[in-house]
Structure formats: structure tokens, C-alpha cells
Structure 1
Amino acid sequence: MLTRRAALMGAAGIAALPILAKATNAEEIMDTSMAAPVDLSSLKRIKRKLVRPPMVHEHEQVAPAEPRVVEFEMQIVEKEMEVDNGAYLQAMTFNGSVPGPLMVVHEGDYVELTLFNSPDNLMQHNIDFHAATGALGGGSLTLVNPGEKTTLRFKATRPGTFVYHCAPGGPMIPWHVVSGMAGAIMVLPRDGLHDHEGKPVRYDRVYYIGENDFYIPKTEDGDYMRFEDVAESYPDTLEVMNGLIPSHVVFNGKVGALTGDNALTAYQGEKVLFVHSQANRDTRPHLIGGHGDLVWERGKFNNPPERDLETWFIAGGSAGAALYEFLQPGVYAYVNHNLIEAVNLGATAHVVVQGDWNNDLMEQVQAPTEYNAAYEGKTALP
């Protein structure tokens, strides 16, 4: 039966109706039934439970000798999310969070994901892993209607950080991505990370920061529009999307998601690995008061890391990683260093570091005090 929502989507000019009816999209479903089977029965299987970003599920930094089949389960959830005060997004999500959870495996492991499309959803969905080989990253093998599930397995053949996102085909792809359907996977080398000299590197904590650009429409009066469901939001959202000017640029789904009570934490002397993804636009992370000791800008661990960076670049559709040892206590701001996007649109996180201040690294020689402007500071004036 053609519902009101389906009629609305059709009226918006969508070529392939993405609701309930089976569509041969995802740039055409592949038939791999004739391929020779692969016997992985000798490999150990482990199950990993995904956790909500910025946290990352339990994992080893150095892998055991033999590859494993790493099993994950992920639920697709369509829901309304408050991005900022009075600004609501009809979001499409992996596991109910924006970004989707970070998955961690090792080079040579097999990733086996069971993907559930909730029967309460309206849309078809799938998953495209930039870490995978063939079939549009798995997108053409995982297209599921509401109430369906599918299981995909792929071999993690190269180490690094990689984006995954929904890519159901045609105009659905950008809409689903900027509505929240993106995450990342980290494929560690089997012997762990290494620095620029090939020496082993370990991290004490890892945080996953997913950056999103949102396009929430406004009324003629300048108020943010709110919609009954994701389908109803499409026509007005598309108009804003095509203008290429986001209403919000945020970390982990909303303004303030990683500040205040939700700020990241660390201790002085700890090495923290920041994994940062942006599935749609370029970005430039910067840690105010700190640096990137070792930075894999393009996220690929076979390449030597850059050193001592002040700001690093994450290309749209990719994920990168930066390691920093915190040397001073205090509050650090982790921002997109397009400062308009950081301050005005929301792309800011805080890291609260506990420890003892080191005056050798920085010291306030004199606290602010008044001075006689007629006699002092003349050399500072034009």
C-alpha cells in the first residue's frame, strides 16, 4: 500500500522509492551465490559488543598470532535527535548514536557484521565499509528493508582508520550520510602501532570523535523546522543540503556533546589516541594547548606518521588518527580549526586533564595588573 509518506517521497522526485518496497538500488544488488565458498572453520571467533562514541569497545593493541573472525551486531535506528536548543534532526543512525560506533580489529582479521534494520524504520539501509574490497564496500550486499537483517563478512586487508556509511543508492546516499549514518573502523597492525622510526607505540586511552555537518531547514521566520518523521523531512532538508551551507557542524551528534559533564578525560602523562572521522566534508582538527605527537592524517598505519603537528587535515570521506601525550593539567579544547565552525556551529570538544602544573613548560610570570598607559607599553602601540 502506498502510504502518505511514500507519496510524499515520490512527489519529491526520488527515482527509487526507499520505503518498504524492495528496490534494486545500492547501485544494483550483486549476486555472489556462484562464488567458491571459503572455509574459515579453523579460525577462532570472538564477539565484540559495540559501545557509544566517544568510547571504544574492549580490544587488544597487539593481536594474537592467528587471525580471527570478529563478530559485531549493529541495529539501524531512525529517530529524532536534538542537535541544539530548538534544532531537531530526523536522524538515521547506526546503533542509535551519531556517529556510529568505532569498530576495532587487526589486519588479517575477518569482520563479520550482522546488520538489523528495525521494523519501526521507514527506509532501506545498507553499509559501505571503506576498509573493505569489492561490492561497493559491501553496500551492494547489505541492502535491507525495515524488519530485515543481513550478515556481511570481509577481510581487513590493510591497516588504518576508515569511514563506513550508509549508501543505499542515488540521492539517498548524501541524505543518509548527513542525517547521521556514518562511523569508522580501525584496523590495527597485528603488532600494534609504530612511530616514525618503526618503534612500537602504545596508547593509554582512545577516543572516537565523529564530525558531522547537518542541514536543518528553517521557516521564513528563521525558526528551525520540526518534522513528524524522517520521510517528511526530506524535501526541505534536500533544499538546504544543495546549498552546501550546513546549519550545524558538530562532534558526536550535537552541540556540546563532548563538553561540560560530557567532556573527555585524561591524566597527565597519558598517551591518548584520537580517531577523527568526517564522512562528507574536509576538516582540520586542532588540540588547543597540545599537539599531534604522531599523526596519521590519512589514517593509514602502513605510512610513517607525521610528527609534532599543530593542526592536521582529515579529507571528507576519511578518518585519521592522532596520538598526544598530555604534559600539563587543565582543560584542552579539541576543535575543528575553521573557528567559525568550531565556535559558531558547534565543532568543539573539551579534554579535562588531571595532574600537577609544570612551570618549566609554561609559567605566568606576572598576573594581570593595571599599568600607567602614559609611561608603559609604548612599544606595543602602533
Structure 2
Amino acid sequence: MKNIIIMTINASIAIYFAIAGYATATESGSGGLAGFEVKTQFQGEKLKSIVQEMVAPPNFPLHTQVVTENKIVKVRLVIEEKEVEVSPGEFMWQMTFNGTAPGPMIVAHEGDYIELTLVNPASNMLLHNIDLHAFSGAMGGGLLTEVSPGQEVTVRFKATKAGTFVYHCAPGGVMIPWHVVSGMNGAITILPKDGLKDKDGNQITYDKAYYIGGQDFYLPKDDKGNYKRYSSPVMGMADMLATMKTLTPSHLPFNGVVGAMTGPNALKAKVGETIMIVHSQANRQAYPHLIGGHGNYVWETGSFNDAPATNQETWSIAAGAAGAAIYTFVQPGIYAYVSHNLIEAILMGSIAHIQVSGKWNNDLQEQLVAPTAIK
């Protein structure tokens, strides 16, 4: 029965692309998309290659902010379908890149080539692919990266735009939103070769970078109001699609699990450190606000070729987009990074903590009289 369901789902994906007028990617012998003549071949034969070690969010992989030469960045993403406890006693099947929702951050520079291997282990049930918003070409590379369970594929694309961009699975039809809101999304940061700049061309650098990926989950409930639990992602698909149609998420966590970056899991910084936060929203808008801090520099739409906005209190990250903000901490303490729809932040999980160490500055903030009984 399971194999019949999987075959039906995967067949529906192929039918979707056929109806949409796209030929699915095949072994054409030229490396291009089937049905199209190749005019220009790869131009980066002389570039050096590096292997980028993927790390789990909120961390960034090791990278250099300013470079003088372009390179080929080799990346490996392994798809994992896994059951996750997103809140105590509340479970869902997540579809993930490298086991996390969002998937790992990829970092390169404008003009680099990214050589990406996408692996779909035989233990998975579904066909997957990857649509990179940084990719120039039809369907964001989705047609070149379709892999059934037990397959892997390698593609290469040139980073032609500097900025922060979402990537996500997009296998066709209702599979697209179902996979995305099951956690199958991530982000890629393409830095300018000469680094980040303000509106006057002055260099902007950061000491540390963190990645936050907002998720909107739609867990179905039974007739008693309890969240349902399923034996596989396919078994819960129909109920989840019905819940998705309400456009009312049950959970809105940052980084896949409620509380993923709060309390003992808080992000770390020091007074005087400059932090860059890249924030992606694959399917639903958010309104980042750093309580007690600001966006000293904000690229709300993620385009590093545009001058950043400055001194922002709250900004927006559109659905299907990623943006970046930079702040230098001046006081120690616990800072909350939230989506400033505070219902979403406090009740639904759109919150992270940043624990900042260092010495206090009374010139910036001081309690003059401690709380006492009213006389």
C-alpha cells in the first residue's frame, strides 16, 4: 500500500510538470535542460574548488567576508524525512535538508560557482528537489535536481546576484507548499567580493553571523482538539493539506522547534561584538525586532547591491525571501529577537534569545530607584 501511495504521488508530480509545459530534466549528454540546445559552456575551469562543511542553523559555515578571487564551492545536502517533537507532546513529520528546519546556510561570493549535490536516501518515501532563489534559470534549478528515493544528483550554478536568498523543495503542484511548510527550506548568502558596504561605500564587517529561519507549521487536530500523530509523512498528508487551506498555522517557530534558540539554547554575543542575523521566511511574512537593540544596518529585501537602511526598530521579511540585519551590542543582558506580531512571538514560537556578556554602562541605562512599597 505504501509503495502504491508513493508511486501515485511521484506520478502526479511528473504530470504537473507536463501540464505546465516543462520537460523534466533527463540525461541529455550536454548538462543542460532536456529539450534545449546548449549555447555556452562552463567558464570556470581554472577556478579553485573548496568543500564547504555544512553546519546546523543558527550557525554559519566558515567563510571569508572579502575575497579577491572567485572559486567553486562544493556543497552536499542530504534529504531527511523525520518525525520531530515541535513542542512538548506535539509531533509532526518534517522534510528537511541535512536534518534541520531550516536547512543549513550556504555561503559564497558573487561570481562564485556553487556545485551542489542533493542526496535522497532510499529510506525516504518521496521525490524531492531544490529551487534556489539565488539561481538564474527556469524553476530555480528545480527541474535539474529531481531525485527519487535512492538517487543523488549534482548541479552547478553561478552566483550572479549578491544578497540573501531562500531555497526550498518544489516538486510540483500541492507538493510544493506541503514540502515547504513541512520544513524543507533554507537560505543561501551570496556576499559581494569586496564585502558589505554602507550607502557611502564604507566597509561593514561582522564578528559573528547567525541564521534564523521562520517556519509555519499546520498540525491537524482530532475531534477532541488534540494534535494528531502519524506513522509517516504520507499518512498525514491529506489532513495536513486540509489544515493548510485554512491559512491558520498551529506553530510559528524559529528554526523548526518551539524554543530552539531560547533559554540554554540562546545565541551568544559579547558587548562590542557586531552580529549579522540572516532571517528567511519561506512561506509566511515576519516582522523582526530586536528588543533592546536595533538594526544598525538592514537589507530588508536581502539585496547587498543596494544601500542598507539604518537604525531600524522593526523591519519585514516577505514570504519567500530572506533579509539581513547587523547590530553592535552595547549592553549586556538577554535580548529577545522576535517577530513583532507579539501573538506569533509569545504564543506561537517566533522568538529567539541572544545572551550578551560584558560590563554594564550606566550612562546608557540605569535604575535610579529600586521598586519599593507605595507610600
Q: TM-score range by the shorter chain?
A: over 0.9
**Paired residue for 1:256?**
259
Taking the aligned partners of 2:157 and 2:350, their CA distance within structure 1 comes to 33
Deviation per residue, 1:199-236 (Å, 9 max, x gap): 00110000000000000011111111000001001001
Structure number, greater radius of gyration: 1
CA distance in 2, matches of 1:59, 1:247: 36
Report whether the alignment pairs 1:348 with 2:357: no
Query: Do the aligned partners of residues 15 and 354 (structure 1) sit closer, same or farther apart at CA in structure 2, a change above 3 Å counting?
Result: closer
Q: Any idea what SS the aligned residue of 1:140 has? A: helix
Q: Which amino acid aligns with 1:114?
A: T
SS in 1 for 2:92: strand
In structure 1, stretches of 5+ residues that fail to align are 373-382
Q: 1:258 is paired with a residue of what secondary structure?
A: coil
Counterpart code for 2:370: A
State which drifts further: 25-34 or 287-296: 25-34
- Structure 2 unaligned segments of length 5 or more: list them: 27-31
**Cross-structure match for 2:65:** 61
1:240 aligns with 2:243: yes
Matches within 5 A, 1:188-203: 188-203=191-206
Secondary structure of the corresponding residue to residue 113 of structure 1: strand
* Alpha-carbon distance change, 178 to 288 in structure 1, aligned in 2, over 3 angstroms: same
Name the counterpart of 2:274: 271
Q: 1:41 is matched by which residue type in structure 2? A: E
- Could you tell me how far 1:87 is from its partner in structure 2? 1.0
SS at match of 2:349: coil
Aligned amino acid, residue 52 of structure 1: A
Secondary structure of the residue aligned to 1:131 is coil
Between the two proteins, the alignment pairs up a number of residues equal to: 363
Residue of structure 1 equivalent to 2:136: 133
Q: How does 1:1-382 map to 2 (within 5 A)?
A: 3-4=1-2, 6-7=4-5, 16-17=11-12, 25=17, 28=22, 29-30=24-25, 32=32, 34-36=37-39, 37-63=41-67, 65-372=68-375
How far apart are the structure 2 equivalents of 1:272 and 1:212?
22
**Residues 209 and 274 of structure 1 are in contact (CA less than 8 Å); yes or no, is this contact kept in structure 2?**
yes
Give me the whole-angstrom Cα distance separating, in 2, the residues matched to 1:197 and 1:110.
29
1:261: Cα distance to partner?
1.4
Check whether the contact 2:16–2:173 (CA below 8 A) recurs between aligned residues. no
Are the aligned partners of 1:9 and 1:234 in contact in 2 as well (CA < 8 Å)?
no
Over residues 114-157 of structure 1, what are the superposed CA-to-partner deviations in whole Å (9 max), with x where a residue is unaligned? Answer: 00001100100000010011121100110110010101111100
Deviation for aligned residue 1:195:
1.5
Cα distance in 2, alignment partners of residues 150 and 248 from structure 1: 33
Q: CA deviation at 1:24?
A: 7.2
Q: In structure 2, the residue corresponding to 1:35 is in which secondary structure? A: coil
Q: Aligned pair in 2 of structure 1 residues 8, 236: CA closer, same or farther (>3 Å)? A: farther
For the 8 Å contact 1:102–1:185, the answer to whether it is kept is yes
Give distance in 2, aligned partners of 1:66 and 1:348: 38
User: In 1, are the aligned partners of 2:275 and 2:327 still within 8 Å (CA)?
Assistant: yes
Residues 5, 285 of structure 1: CA spacing in aligned structure 2 closer, same or farther, 3 A cutoff? Answer: farther
Partner amino acid, structure 1, of 2:366 = E
Contact 1:46 1:70 in 2 (8 A): yes
Amino acid at match of 2:309: E
Task: Tell whether the 8 Å contact from 1:30 to 1:135 is kept in structure 2 after alignment.
Answer: no
Between the aligned partners of 1:280 and 1:81, the Cα distance in structure 2 is: 20
The one-character-per-residue Cα deviations of 1:166-225 (angstroms, maximum 9, x if unpaired) are: 000011000000000000000000011112221001100000000000000111111110
Does the Cα contact within 8 Å between 2:16 and 2:172 map onto a contact in 1?
Answer: no
- Is the contact made by 1:297 and 1:313 (CA closer than 8 Å) also made in structure 2? yes
SS of 2:244 mapped into structure 1:
helix
Deviation for aligned residue 1:365: 1.0
**More deviation, 157-166/194-203:** 194-203
Q: Distance in 2 between matches of 1:78 and 1:289?
A: 38
Q: Is the 8 A contact 1:5 1:231 kept in 2?
A: no
Please report the TM-score for the alignment, with normalisation by the length of structure 2.
Answer: 0.94
Q: In structure 2, do the counterparts of structure 1 residues 86 and 147 end up closer, same or farther at CA, with 3 Å as the change threshold? A: same
RMSD: 1.7
Measured after TM superposition, the shift of residue 17 of structure 1 is 4.0
